[in-house]
């Protein structure tokens, strides 16, 4: 039988090999991530430039955009374009929104650390991930089942534990989880859905594209005051896929 000294040396060697392997794996991951880090920073610079004179986007939102790996939320065939400031196809007739619009909508929602946010239109999960870095809980609904399944798996793999997803018609919201501090809608509705308005807390904000076609959509900010009175503001022209369902 080996002596205690030999056993101890064997354990030390095994530990050394394990630590070395972890270090090499970490170094390899950092090396693979480095180009994306630079591209994210360039993307944020472009967002700042586009926002100049139009919107003062909160620093926390921009820092989050510089951190969340957008390339992980697009198909592999689109990864070389992941940090371009434009929407990209994610299949099933759906898109991942332009980074500037994601930043703008996130900023307009005024996310707070203790907030609970509802997202309508999970898509690939990118907007939900950005929100999850800034709030306590995100509830996200996607009507296209394969996209919802893929997004849920992707978000779990990336370590997001504060995002709750489900398949459903976003027009009706998620009443069991409401009311919400903010609601972010990533598909265009002909008008603000009344069920979503009911699920918005007094003092809350909803950001939603409203319009009947790609060419007549406007990003709208809906605010509910402490007495439950609603005020709406039209902001900028946008192009979103339509909100679908049986409503």
In a domain? residue 80: no
Query: What is the model's pTM?
Result: 0.84
In a domain? residue 44: no
Range 174-199 average pLDDT:
96
Match 């196809």 to its residue by tokens. 89
**% the chain with pLDDT above 70:** 84
- Dist CA 130 CA 103 (whole Å): 9
In a domain? residue 79: no
- pLDDT (tens digit, 9 = 90+) per residue, 56-102? 899 999 999 999 999 999 999 999 999 999 999 999 999 999 999 99
CATH number at residue 215: 3.40.50.150
Range of the domain at 191: 85-238
In a domain? residue 27: no
In a domain? residue 22: no
- pLDDT (tens digit, 9 = 90+) per residue, 149-160? 999 999 999 999
Residue numbers annotated as active site: 97
More confident residue, 18 or 104: 104
In a domain? residue 95: yes
Q: Give the tokens for residue 115.
A: 């907030």
- Residue 75's pLDDT is what? 95
In a domain? residue 161: yes
E strand map for the chain = 88-91, 94-96, 116-120, 137-142, 163-167, 180-185, 200-210, 217-224, 230-238
In a domain? residue 228: yes
Q: How many domains does the chain have?
A: 1
Residue positions counted in the chain = 247
5: confidence class by pLDDT, cuts 50, 70, 90: low
Q: Does residue 24 carry a pLDDT above 60?
A: no
Q: What integer best gives the mean pLDDT of the chain?
A: 88
């Amino acid at each position: 039988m080996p002596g205690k000294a030999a056993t101890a040396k064997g354990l030390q060697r095994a530990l050394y090999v394990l630590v070395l392997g972890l270090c090499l794996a970490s170094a390899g991951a950092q090396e693979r991530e480095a180009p994306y880090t630079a591209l994210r920073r360039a993307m944020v610079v472009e967002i700042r430039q586009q926002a100049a004179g139009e919107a003062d986007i909160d620093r926390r939102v921009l820092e989050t955009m510089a951190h969340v790996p957008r390339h992980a939320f697009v198909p592999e065939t689109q990864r070389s374009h992941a940090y371009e400031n434009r929407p990209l196809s994610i299949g099933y007739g759906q898109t991942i929104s332009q980074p500037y619009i994601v930043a703008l909508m996130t900023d307009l929602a005024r996310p707070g650390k203790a907030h609970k946010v509802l997202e309508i239109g999970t898509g690939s999960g990118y907007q939900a991930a950005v929100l999850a870095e800034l709030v306590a809980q995100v509830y996200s609904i996607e009507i296209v089942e394969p996209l919802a399944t893929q997004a849920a798996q992707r978000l779990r793999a990336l370590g997001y534990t504060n995002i709750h997803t489900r398949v459903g018609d976003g027009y009706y919201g998620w009443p069991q989880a409401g009311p919400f501090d903010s609601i972010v809608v990533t598909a265009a509705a002909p008008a603000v859905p009344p069920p979503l308005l009911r699920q918005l807390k007094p003092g809350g904000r909803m950001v939603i594209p409203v319009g009947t076609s790609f060419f007549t959509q406007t990003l709208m900010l809906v605010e509910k005051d402490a007495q439950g009175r609603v005020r709406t503001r039209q902001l900028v022209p946008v192009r979103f896929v339509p909100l679908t369902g049986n409503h």
